[in-house]
Structure 1
Amino acid sequence: MKRMKRRDFLKKTGPAVALAAVTGTTGFVFHNRESVKHRNVLAKSASFEVPSDPTLPVLTSATNTDPVAALNAALDGIGGIGRFVHPGERVVLKPNVGWDRTPAQGANTNPALVSEMVRLCLGAGATQVTVADVSCNDPRRSFLRSGIREAGETAGAQVMLPAEEDFGEVELGGTVLRNWTVLRHFVETDRFINMPVIKHHNLTLCTVGMKNLYGILGGRRNRLHQEIDQSIVDLAAFVRPTLTVVDGTRVLFRSGPQGGSLDDVSIENTVLCSTDQVAADARAVEFLGLSADRVGHIVLADRSGVGTLDYRAVGYKEIV
């Protein structure tokens, strides 16, 4: 199947028949792209944060050869799933599913983490859990080869491949990102859980939580590359996730963000959970041999009040 670049994903025009496929009552949803006018998504902000709790750390880290065990340990250390998801709520999960790569290649979020997070959210009483991303490579192939389609479906989520009509213009109010098309599922929800993977990036040195938010955007995002640090911060200031769950099980330490060679992947077996997306990124980049104060968008996010670069100062706990 011909690979589809992200910019072509939304450019495709002409007659098309919408196609949707759903497995059971949940499952994998995809459509042929139609030429339709973007409808407005009436969102002045997209803050899904929970109240702070001074008795709990802001950032936790757990290491275990079993990724599910690592996730549960890190999550329990920050208050457990019940702090973040309540009965009757809709939850959207945003893993990195950008690339037509296998789990071992480290370019996408570990599907075992996605599956477990779906299970946890449903167990906490969520009425619907949606797994979505706007892939860089062909979206069907990316969701299939990454293992995330199967992981999400099996656990009971709706795995969503967006159609053009699923995007809407949103007033982001940023310095660079003022108005942009956004996948509406990410702003029309009750809870937003960001699930990035730690990777090298050829433009930004790294991609973790804040950069992963690019995957909610439509349109020609390469237009943002000239001011990429500011655009990342604009987006992170607009989207305030309920929780950031960082996949550090396999770390793509070079040739990112797409990778390809197993020689570029280190096995770290670590999961981070945080209510501060800047703190999460600051800790995560250390797995790439970087200091957060050398990463432009992390420094800028700290200065802009999006979060705190000094993660130890806000409350950090390693769980062993």
Structure 2
Amino acid sequence: MTTPINRRRFLRGAAAGLSAVTLNQFLTACGTPEARTPPATSAAAQPATVPPMKAPVATTAVTQMEPGPQPTAASAGAPDLVVARSGEPEAMVRRAIAALGGMERFVPREANVIVKPNICVAYHTYEYAATTNPWVVGAVVKMCFEAGARSVRVMDFPFGGSAEEAYEISGIAEQVKAAGGEMVVMSRLKFMPTDLPNAITLKQAAIYDDILKADVVIDVPIAKDHGLARLTLGMKNLMGVIRDREVIHGMLGQNLADLAGHIRPQLTIIDAVRLLMANGPTGGSLDDVKQLDTIVASPDIVAADSYAATLFEMQPEELLYIMAGVAAGLGRSDLKNLRIEEINVGS
């Protein structure tokens, strides 16, 4: 099997040493949230143990990422996108990834993997559909190790509450640790001013250094409503790898496509076990949550987002970042022409 291009080997040849750039103060995903008191932690949630760090931003820049996953023998004949339904979260993830050719297609042996879920706030447990389902994340971590990964780190940069609180309340910390993975609190010291040479509008951003240097990045968003972007899906979830989110808000659709084109996760797994149908991105009412028991998975982030949009009775062309992603050559939104495999796990 031909293994994907190693990110660290590629990045050793990238240019570095750019001057530091002063960026503005951190914004939330859709404005400044009002202070809230976190609810009592659910029994399933366990605390993250890594303390937060606050320090000046380092100035070393990395200029470019390598392309996404390359075709392999395992992927020959695989569908472009898989939809798994009507099962437990881990079972749906496993069936979806198996249909794509197995996790070995995306994670070479000894790879250092980063899993990027949505753990945006410390306000609600996973039932409120503001954060990725913890059993989905746990399943991804297990499968990475089963494929031979050296390390699997899970991280996000919450805008509401501390990372420790968010990791604990979401339930993700417990499942990741049970699977042998590591929860990482993202330090401001490690966001690197980075040129995006192929970008249209987002020419520079402070991107988390571990993301830039990982061998494999797996994007694991929850599908939910968003007041500014309309929906948070795979491309929108990547906002959690940059420090200063206000640099994206002005031309949001194009900027999200620019960022996705630079990060290029090897695999996108969208958690649609529960959908947040309104009042996103943080929600707060179970009345806004729809139980769907669905997983959408694809190496094509644009295709994954395009299909997930239909779960909200929206078309891909209604989301500016999807159309910008298509124009940039990041993937396809023409669902009728994609090879889509649908699996009923419960049958």
TM-score, structure 2 as length reference:
0.82
Could you tell me which amino acid in structure 2 is paired with residue 42 of structure 1? V
How many Å apart are 1:54 and its aligned residue?
4.6
Which of 140, 146, 149 in structure 1 is aligned with 2:164? 140
Question: Over residues 174-207 of structure 1, what are the superposed CA-to-partner deviations in whole Å (9 max), with x where a residue is unaligned?
Answer: 1221111111111111111000110111111111
Q: Percent identity?
A: 30
How many Å apart are 1:300 and its aligned residue?
1.9
Residue in 1 that maps onto 2:281: 257
Question: Over residues 277-312 of structure 1, what are the superposed CA-to-partner deviations in whole Å (9 max), with x where a residue is unaligned?
Answer: 000000001111211122111122112211101133
SS of 2:251's partner is helix
Residue in 2 that maps onto 1:241: 265
Q: List aligned pairs for 1:11-26, cutoff 5 A.
A: none
Answer yes or no: is the 8 Å Cα contact 2:141–2:176 preserved in 1.
yes
Task: Give the Cα–Cα distance (whole angstroms) in 2 for the partners of residues 37 and 110 of structure 1.
Answer: 31
SS of 1:187's partner is helix
- 1:39 and 2:59 aligned: yes
Answer yes or no: is the 8 Å Cα contact 1:39–1:165 preserved in 2.
no
Task: Give the Cα–Cα distance (whole angstroms) in 2 for the partners of residues 244 and 158 of structure 1.
Answer: 20
Q: Which runs of 5 or more structure 1 residues have no equivalent in the other structure?
A: 9-26
Task: Give the Cα–Cα distance (whole angstroms) in 1 for the partners of residues 283 and 269 of structure 2.
Answer: 21
Answer yes or no: is the 8 Å Cα contact 1:48–1:190 preserved in 2.
no
Which of 5, 17, 29 in structure 1 is aligned with 2:50? 29
Residue in 2 that maps onto 1:60: 82
How many Å apart are 1:50 and its aligned residue?
3.2
- 1:297 and 2:321 aligned: yes
Which of 293, 296, 300 in structure 2 is aligned with 1:272? 296
Task: Give the Cα–Cα distance (whole angstroms) in 2 for the partners of residues 313 and 28 of structure 1.
Answer: 46
Answer yes or no: is the 8 Å Cα contact 1:81–1:124 preserved in 2.
yes
Answer yes or no: is the 8 Å Cα contact 1:281–1:298 preserved in 2.
yes
Residue in 1 that maps onto 2:227: 202
SS of 2:311's partner is helix
Task: Give the Cα–Cα distance (whole angstroms) in 1 for the partners of residues 50 and 247 of structure 2.
Answer: 29
Answer yes or no: is the 8 Å Cα contact 2:121–2:158 preserved in 1.
yes
What is the Cα-based RMSD across aligned positions, in Å? 1.7
Answer yes or no: is the 8 Å Cα contact 1:48–1:192 preserved in 2.
no
Residue in 1 that maps onto 2:133: 110
Residue in 2 that maps onto 1:21: none
- 1:160 and 2:180 aligned: no
Answer yes or no: is the 8 Å Cα contact 1:6–1:137 preserved in 2.
no
98-107 or 41-50: which moved more?
Answer: 41-50
Task: Give the Cα–Cα distance (whole angstroms) in 2 for the partners of residues 64 and 37 of structure 1.
Answer: 45
Could you tell me which amino acid in structure 1 is paired with residue 149 of structure 2? A
SS of 1:29's partner is coil
How many Å apart are 1:155 and its aligned residue?
1.2
Q: Give the direction of change, closer, same or farther, for the CA distance of 1:222–1:210 in structure 2 (3 Å limit).
A: same
TM-score, structure 1 as length reference:
0.88
Which of 77, 98, 102 in structure 1 is aligned with 2:120? 98
Q: Which runs of 5 or more structure 2 residues have no equivalent in the other structure?
A: 1-24, 29-47
Task: Give the Cα–Cα distance (whole angstroms) in 1 for the partners of residues 335 and 184 of structure 2.
Answer: 33
How many Å apart are 1:7 and its aligned residue?
3.7
Q: Give the direction of change, closer, same or farther, for the CA distance of 1:28–1:172 in structure 2 (3 Å limit).
A: farther
Could you tell me which amino acid in structure 2 is paired with residue 125 of structure 1? G
SS of 2:268's partner is strand
Answer yes or no: is the 8 Å Cα contact 2:57–2:191 preserved in 1.
no
Question: Over residues 21-46 of structure 1, what are the superposed CA-to-partner deviations in whole Å (9 max), with x where a residue is unaligned?
Answer: xxxxxx74233312x24131434225
Answer yes or no: is the 8 Å Cα contact 1:130–1:159 preserved in 2.
yes
Task: Give the Cα–Cα distance (whole angstroms) in 2 for the partners of residues 249 and 196 of structure 1.
Answer: 11
Residue in 1 that maps onto 2:43: none
Could you tell me which amino acid in structure 2 is paired with residue 98 of structure 1? C
Answer yes or no: is the 8 Å Cα contact 1:118–1:152 preserved in 2.
yes
Where in structure 1 do 4 or more consecutive aligned residues deviate above 4 Å? none
Question: Over residues 84-130 of structure 1, what are the superposed CA-to-partner deviations in whole Å (9 max), with x where a residue is unaligned?
Answer: 11211110000001022211000110000111111111111111100
Answer yes or no: is the 8 Å Cα contact 2:57–2:190 preserved in 1.
no
Answer yes or no: is the 8 Å Cα contact 2:126–2:132 preserved in 1.
yes
SS of 2:145's partner is helix
